[in-house]
Amino acid sequence: MSKVAFVFPGQGSQVTGMGKVLADQHPEVMDYFSKADQTLKYQLSELIFEGPQEELTKTVNAQPALLTTSIAILDYFQRSGIKADYVAGHSLGEYTALVAARALTFEEGVYAVRKRGEFMEKAVPNGEGTMAAVLGLDRKSLSEATQSVDESGFPVSLANLNCPGQIVISGSRKGVELAGEKAKESGAKRVIPLVVSGPFHSSLMKPASTELRAVLDGLDMKDAAIPVIANVSADVMSLAVEIKEKLIEQLYSPVLWEDSVQKMIDLGVDTFIEIGPGKVLSGLIKKIDRSVKVYSVSDEESCQTVINALKEEKL
């Protein structure tokens, strides 16, 4: 029997004006942006709709902005009656998935990711850490390259295992540089430095984990009503106590996205719907397995297109 997964994008998919047309036309969608403003006590909605893009891209703004926009789009899309058998999100998107699975309320999710963004920006002084995408090298070879550099005293590790041939490394500026050189020596086609404000999903993020734990301890987290595939284990999590620990671990551990998608496929998922701005995850999923159906929903037109396609397939 056909199964559906909703997946939610992470930081980097934000764009000025995302969700605006849908919010202008549907008051119930606008409600989410208004709730985010009230929860955070600043005009996040104005920043999302009007920019400037440079301000929206800052980690402390991008994270709540993406969660808000993705959940607003999800609410509109779900009015069609289409439901998910599993949910997952890439890094920040995991919090969106947990709101979708009702483990967190929308307000809790927005608050948590705003604080998460603050802690992540504060963990490492600006300019001391960075990330780079390594293309065309297998996981084992890249892991060996980063491990040898890390053991020599320059922190670096695998951060995002996105799809075959695309892995992001993260750590100290020197560590990422040296690991990038070793990756090229091992056969990597390209090493692309990323414009980020810190070494996310590396051991350098551990100082932020204590502060994040205090925030998560203050939330009324529930067991997930829909199974969630965890970034750090690429396995199902549903119990509140487990979810909290996995979110803390996620800060300084690699995002096993390729493994997570493969896990959902192994569980019978043959239809993936990316909900939120952009099509980053849709592209990755197609590279992981071309046999599955992949859709992306970001506005009213794409919502209707996907709803009609799924009705034809009788999902």
Q: What is the pLDDT along the chain (315 residues), one digit of tens a residue?
A: 689 999 999 999 999 999 999 999 999 999 999 999 999 999 999 999 999 999 999 999 999 999 999 999 999 999 989 999 999 999 999 999 999 999 999 999 999 999 999 999 899 887 789 999 999 999 999 999 999 999 999 999 999 999 999 999 999 999 999 999 999 999 999 999 998 888 999 999 999 999 999 999 999 999 999 999 999 999 999 999 999 999 999 999 999 999 999 999 999 999 999 999 999 999 999 999 999 999 999 999 999 999 999 888 765
Considering the domain architecture, whether residues 116 and 171 belong to the same structural domain is answered as: no
Q: What is the pLDDT of residue 315?
A: 58
Buried b vs exposed e over 191-200: b needs ≥16 C-beta within 10 Å? Answer: beebebbbbb
Considering the domain architecture, whether residues 11 and 97 belong to the same structural domain is answered as: yes
Q: What is the pLDDT of residue 311?
A: 84
What range defines the domain where residue 111 resides?
A: 3-123+204-312
Considering the domain architecture, whether residues 215 and 98 belong to the same structural domain is answered as: yes
Considering the domain architecture, whether residues 181 and 42 belong to the same structural domain is answered as: no
Among 158, 173, 196, the domain boundary falls at: 196
The string of pLDDT tens digits covering residues 6-46 is 999 999 999 999 999 999 999 999 999 999 999 999 999 99
Q: What is the pLDDT of residue 174?
A: 96
Q: What would you measure as the largest C-alpha separation in the chain, in angstroms?
A: 57
Return the CATH number at 174: 3.30.70.250
Q: How many domains does the chain have?
A: 2
Q: What is the pLDDT of residue 227?
A: 98
Considering the domain architecture, whether residues 210 and 110 belong to the same structural domain is answered as: yes
Considering the domain architecture, whether residues 86 and 154 belong to the same structural domain is answered as: no
- Residue 47 is which amino acid? L
Answer yes or no: are the C-beta atoms of 176 and 298 closer than 8 Å. no
- % of the chain with per-residue pLDDT over 90: 93
Q: Say if pTM beats, i.e. exceeds, 0.85.
A: yes
Of residues 73, 64, 81, 8, the one with CA closest to residue 307:
81
Residues composing the chain: 315
Query: Would you name the residues annotated as active-site residues?
Result: 91, 201
Q: What is the pLDDT of residue 314?
A: 66
Question: How crowded is residue 241: how many other Cβ atoms within 10 Å of its Cβ?
Answer: 10
Buried b vs exposed e over 120-136: b needs ≥16 C-beta within 10 Å? Answer: beebbeeeebbbbbbee
Separation of alpha carbons 33 and 44, rounded Å: 8
Of residues 137, 93, 14, the one with CA closest to residue 272:
93
Considering the domain architecture, whether residues 73 and 191 belong to the same structural domain is answered as: no
Separation of alpha carbons 248 and 95, rounded Å: 12
Q: What is the pLDDT of residue 287?
A: 97
Considering the domain architecture, whether residues 119 and 216 belong to the same structural domain is answered as: yes
Of residues 182, 179, 127, the one with CA closest to residue 153:
179
Considering the domain architecture, whether residues 254 and 287 belong to the same structural domain is answered as: yes
